[in-house]
Amino acid sequence: MKRLLCLVLGLCLLASGCVTSPRDTAFQASTIDALLAGVYDGDMSFRSLLKHGDFGIGTFDRLDGEMVLLDGNVYQVKADGKVYEPELCVKTPFATVCQFDADRTIPIEPGSDYETVENLIDTNFPNQNLFYAIKITGHLVSIKTRSVPGQQKPYPPLNEVTKNQPEFDMKNISGTIVGFRCPAYVKGINVPGYHLHFISSDRTRGGHILSLKFAEGKCEVDVLDQYSLALPSNTQEFAETDLSKDRSEELKDVEKR
């Protein structure tokens, strides 16, 4: 009977405690417009974030680098171009994650660039009103990424920071592309369309992708029909930021400079 009790308790804890978000959920901490406005203080620890997924992208407290979450491991691509693995007590001011579980795999044609890959996914997933987690594993002829340096208060807006962003050109490199395609209606909350980060197979290079060319690759897509937002309810900066303003132009500047 004691064994049965332990089993029941264990199963219930598994069911209720570990993963807080249901399957097929894009879970997000804070909003992109708060980040654009310079709300860079982390609000959610990676320990908490990992309860909502093992896959995703984002940034770090004080905007200290580009985040890649892959197979439950958090990688921090800093402005020095190197990859770090932060403590889970570190916090994030903005991140989007999910429990990655591919619905379909599509091969990537050799020579494909960023736009070709976008078109390929758009053709295979024409429903523009859901969320898609995108994981591309492959070998790249070339890839250009950027990162952002940690900021000091008073924080400048994000499009000021990215004016002087360090960029990294890599050639003949294997790795994984991690990111999302979000619907147009998340404008102001997340990035409409594609937002992809990179981490090399040896976990030494990476960043926010600016351009790329594939030698070969396979694209796995997880269709997400649930979307969850956790807002920084105790952050004064978030409370005081004007999130009614249209920051689309700032976002365009920041995403693909």
Where does this chain bind a copy of itself (CB under 8 A)? 1, 4-5, 8-9, 11-13, 15-17, 20, 22, 31, 33-34, 126-131, 183-189, 192, 223, 225-233, 238-239, 241, 243-244
- Cα 108 from chain centroid? 21
How far apart are CB 56 and a copy of itself at their closest, in Å? 17
**Do 145 and 210 touch, CB atoms closer than 8 A?**
yes
Residues of the chain by 3-state class (helix, strand, coil), percent to 5: 25, 40, 35
Q: Give whichever of 17 and 154 is closer to a copy of itself, judged by the CB atom.
A: 17
5 versus 89: smaller Cβ distance to a copy of itself: 5
38 or 175, CB closer to a copy of itself?
Answer: 38
CB of 47 to a copy of itself, least distance (A): 16
Spatial neighbors of 248 by CB under 8 A, at least 6 apart, are 187
Shortest distance, CB of residue 171 to a copy of itself, whole angstroms? 36
Looking at the Cβ atoms of 126 and 154, the one nearer to a copy of itself is: 126
**Of 172 and 236, which has the nearer Cβ to a copy of itself?**
236
DSSP codes joined into one string, 9-76: HHHHHIIIII--SPTTEEEEES-HHHHHTT--S--EEHHHHGGG-SEEEEE-GGG-SEEEEETTEEEE
Shortest CB 231 distance to a copy of itself, Å:
4
Cis preceding linkage at 183, omega within 30? no
- Residue (of 68, 84, 75) closest to 208 by Cα position: 68
Q: How far is the CB of 31 from a copy of itself (least distance, A)?
A: 6
